[in-house]
Amino acid sequence: MANKERFYSILLIFSTIVSSINLISCEKSLITNQAALFVFGDSVFDVGNNNYINTHRAAQANVWPYGQTTFKFPTGRNSDGRLIPDFIAEYAWLPLIPPYLQPRNGVNHYTYGVNFASAGAGALVETYQPQNVIPLGSQLNNFKNVEKMLKDNLGDAETKRIISRAVYLIQIGPNDYFYPFSVNASHFESNSKEKFVDYVIGNTTAVIEGIYKLGGSKFGLMNMGRLDCVPGLLTMDPNRIGSCFEPITELIKLHNVRIPNVLRDLQRRLPSFRYSLFDSYTAGTEAMENPTKYGFKEVKKACCGSGPFRGSSTCGYRAGTSRDFELCENVSDYMFFDGSHTSEKANQQTAELMWDGPSDLVGPYTLKTLFQNF
């Protein structure tokens, strides 16, 4: 086991060096006027920041079989391959956007953007803090550090141009809504669900406004998807095994009613503020109810994990020489890679819809429009 862990550690270091070299070598071939992509969020968007912090094993994805499909080794992404921001970067003619904490990052990397997302993060500071993850507010502080570095190296005018033309991709909230149930099942017996949702959205809005004050004006967001129906939550209610976890469903619906109104208010108040809101809930429901239409054979059971629906977060765990998890043979048949995260195939489908999907799923702008028309 020690040898295998050492092997994957070497691979992780090697991938960091290679990605740095690739970014530098491709700078001349990319359009120098291309809008950058700055990414904020949780494990849905984290491309490896948690590899570089002292956090709980459950908040990292730096062991096999994570990354097996595209990268052929674990990169810190919570999937078998690429995540949504990876595909968005590709569609925008950008290189892979590196994690902020990756060693050897430099100003040349930041001109194309950087990823601040941290698995386990929430809009609320207290969400999963025993695991020492990077909450959304701290991610904003990291963005401020990047802005300062750009100014120090490129000057105020060029930094202003980069930040004003960039697109800011944000995915946050699922951990905030799940965390109370993981630590205190009776939390909402004495706390208003409506006020809790307002706190989550309020903190998210504060970060959006913080980015806006620094010059950012183009934002891409997702509403709450089918968090209540991921494999890991299908056994949360012992009386309804296999059913979506209804207490979180209520929070999701409250969030999804409020977030469009909040964004419209920001658009009214903030000159030049533009946004793209993707209806992840409707898209996820459609895929779950019509799996064959999207090329899936399994939408309830995870590819990697253990227990009912392979929903337990044991993917990659080993005890001695034996592994404590099951792994499917063909991940492309599965909507979910592990108990909480979608497969690369599902991530690509989501990214395509966010990039240039129909108006009933994404609006008032698509990400393609934000990148190309403003």
Q: What pLDDT, in 10s, does the model give residues 201-242? A: 999 999 999 999 999 999 999 999 999 999 999 999 999 999
Residue pLDDT, tens place only, 81-120: 999 999 999 999 999 999 999 987 777 779 999 999 999 9
Which is the catalytic residue, given 43, 217, 306, 340?
43
Looking at every residue in the chain, the average pLDDT score rounds to: 90
| DSSP β-bridge partners for residue 225 | none
User: Please, how many CA atoms are within 13 Å of residue 8, restricted to the half-sphere of its CB?
Assistant: 20
Helix or strand (DSSP H, E) at 38: strand 37-41
Active site residue 29: no
* Count of beta carbons in the 10 Å neighbourhood of residue 156: 9
- What is the average pLDDT across 163-184? 94
**pLDDT at residue 321 in the model:** 57
Residues 249, 339: Cα–Cα separation, whole Å: 17
Which is the catalytic residue, given 15, 42, 341, 343?
341
**pLDDT at residue 320 in the model:** 57
Residues 218, 163: Cα–Cα separation, whole Å: 10
Query: Residue 186: is its pLDDT beyond 60?
Result: yes
CB distance 94 to 36 below 8 Å: yes
Which is the catalytic residue, given 109, 176, 338, 343?
338
Active site residue 332: no
Contacts 24+ apart (CB under 8 A), 207-211: 207/40, 207/123, 207/136, 207/137, 207/139, 207/140, 207/170, 208/168, 208/170, 208/266, 209/266, 209/270, 210/140, 211/38, 211/140, 211/143, 211/168
| DSSP β-bridge partners for residue 276 | 220, 364
Query: Residue 23: is its pLDDT beyond 50?
Result: no
CB distance 119 to 43 below 8 Å: yes
Residues 291, 328: Cα–Cα separation, whole Å: 17
Residue pLDDT, tens place only, 61-76: 999 999 999 999 999 9
Residue pLDDT, tens place only, 128-156: 888 889 999 999 999 999 999 999 999 99
Prediction pTM value: 0.90
**pLDDT at residue 319 in the model:** 64
Which tokens go with 151? 């100014």
According to DSSP, residue 128 is labeled T
Given pLDDT bands bounded at 50, 70 and 90, which one contains residue 3? very low
Active site residue 322: no
